[in-house]
Each structure stands twice: as C-alpha cells, then as structure tokens.
Amino acid sequence: MIGRSERVPFFRRFLLYFFLTLVGVIMAYPFFFMVTTSLKTNQDTFASILAPFGSKLEWGNYRAVLSTVNMGRYMLNTVFVAVCVMAGQIFTSMMGGYAFARFKFPGRDAIFRAYLGTIMIPFMVILIPTYKLMLMFNWVDRYQSLIIPWLFTASGTFLFRQFFKGIPLELEEAAIIDGAGRFRILWGIFAPLALPAVATQATISFLYAWNSFIWPLVIIHNRNNYVVTQGLADIQGGYHANVPYIMAGSTLAILPTVLAFLLAQKYFVEGVATTGLKG
C-alpha cells in the first residue's frame, strides 16, 4: 500500500476500508459492550445482550460503584500514586539521562549497560525481596510502597539520554561560559527543550502506574488504600451477579487512560515507536 493515494483504485480502496473497519469492530467491541452494559439494568443485560440500550439509561450503576463499592476513593488513590510515580520517574530519568549523555565518569558505560540489562529481567524475580524490603521499611499497606520502588526506570533514563545526546553541544558550552552551573543548565535549558520526551515518558509512567495490578494486590490489604485494579477485582468478587456494576467499574478504570490517550495520542505512540526503533 506504499504509494500515492491517487494510485489506489476505488475497488481496492473500498476493500481496504472494509477490512480496516472489520478489524476496528473487533478491537472496539469489548469497549462498546462495556459502556453500553454499564448503563443497563441487570435484568436487561442478559435479556438483550447485544442491544446497545436497555429499557432505560441506568446511571445509578455508576453512583453505586462510586459510593457503595468506594471506587471513587480507589480512583483518587490511584491518581495520587500515578502522578507521584510520573513526576518521580521523570525527575530521576532526566537527571540520570543527563549524566549519561553529558558527563564523563569512571564506570559510566558499565552502569549504563547494567541499566539496560534490567529491561530483560522480569518483575517477578524481584517481587518477593521487594515485598520483604517493604516489610522492613514498614511500608506494607502504605502509598510509599506503590511509589518509591518504581521511581527508577531504565527505559526512561535511556529515553532522556537519547534525547539529550541530540541537543547540540554549543548550546551547553555557551551557558557554561556564561557561568551557569550544570544543574541550572539541565532545568533551565535542557528541560524545556525536552518537553516532547517529558510528555512521552509521562504517558508511559502514567499507564504503568494506573494499570499495575500484581504489586498492589500483594502489598495493599487495607481497603481504604486500594487502587483501581484492586477495586475492580473486588467488585468482581462481591457483586459477581451484577454485570452492569462490573462494567461501570471497568469503564471508570479505563476512561482516564483512554482520555489521556485521545488527548496525547502522539506521545503515547511516539514512546513505543522510538524505543522500538532504537531497541
């Protein structure tokens, strides 16, 4: 299909759009099912499983999920955790990326290789010792456990290193001659230039923190501190027979990331695409 649009004949184009739409339906149907069912009554759900609407729009499902199931609280908890992880990861990886890109120090390349090596190692290998650490720090059931262990990110450091390497050296030298310290250079000159990379890393961090499940499941037991994914598992356990509740909960869990994606699609896609190309 590489070529110019005017070369694609009508029939071919029709087939292409037909196929892409078909795939689109498969990709989108679960979301469609989720949103429509979240607005039905429980009786309507199985009476007309395919119908987009039940006998009425049941907004009460959302009210119930937000208050009775306490999903509102879980969402706030997750927003707090996700924003902290996001800010923290951007801070550490920006500093680290700058160090790798612009400083010479003994062991730099070895440390960098060690960082990259971590990408290969599955999380489950460090799951149990990290749990033990949380016990030692007395962080079990606290938000710290959801934030601080995740502030180091190898891929984020890599992302910023690559970005900073692309900034011309002259820019920095001029600032040094003017007497600016390195810290001021990073936050005054490099950071504003790196906004696209910041946005990319922000999307990655936010998605990661918002959607994480096994770690909160292990470390958070107090219901008040639950995150969204735990809340969902909870609805599934407690309201097993009430499908609209489960769908309303799922919609609430998916909405923020989908909205963020729609607003900043470029950065979501860029993060994946650039790491893929350089990987």
Site for other proteins in 85-114 (CB under 8 A): 91-93, 95-96, 98-100, 103-106, 108, 111, 114
Q: With binding defined as CB under 8 A, does residue 191 bind other proteins?
A: no
Q: Name which of 127 and 189 has its Cβ closer to other proteins.
A: 127
Told to check if 138 binds other proteins by CB under 8 A, we report no
Q: CA torsion sign, 25 to 29 to 30 to 32?
A: positive
For residue 276, report the phi and psi dihedrals to the nearest 5 degrees: -65, -40
Asked if 192 interacts with other proteins (CB under 8 A), we say no
Residues of this chain, 222-261, that bind other proteins according to CB under 8 A: 228-229, 232-233, 236, 243, 246-247, 249-251, 253-254, 257-258, 260-261
When asked if residue 279 is in the footprint of other proteins (CB under 8 A), the reply is yes
The two structure tokens encoding residue 159 = 């992302």
As a 3-state breakdown, the chain gives helix, strand, coil percent values, each rounded to 5, of 80, 0, 20
Chain CA centroid to CA 42, Å: 32
Asked if 214 is part of the footprint of other proteins (rule: CB under 8 A), the reply reads yes
Q: Residue 25 or 171: which CB sits closer to other proteins?
A: 25
Query: What is the closest distance, in whole angstroms, from the C-beta atom of residue 59 to other proteins in the complex?
Result: 19
C-alpha–C-alpha distance, residues 65 and 125, integer Å: 35
Pick 179 or 279: Cβ nearer other proteins:
279
CB atoms near residue 279 (< 10 Å)? 9
d(CA 194, CA 210): 24
Task: Indicate whether 76 belongs to the interface with other proteins (CB under 8 A).
Answer: no
Q: Could you say which of 11, 26, 168, 179 contacts other proteins (CB under 8 A)?
A: 26
218 and 57 Cβ atoms separated by less than 8 Å: no
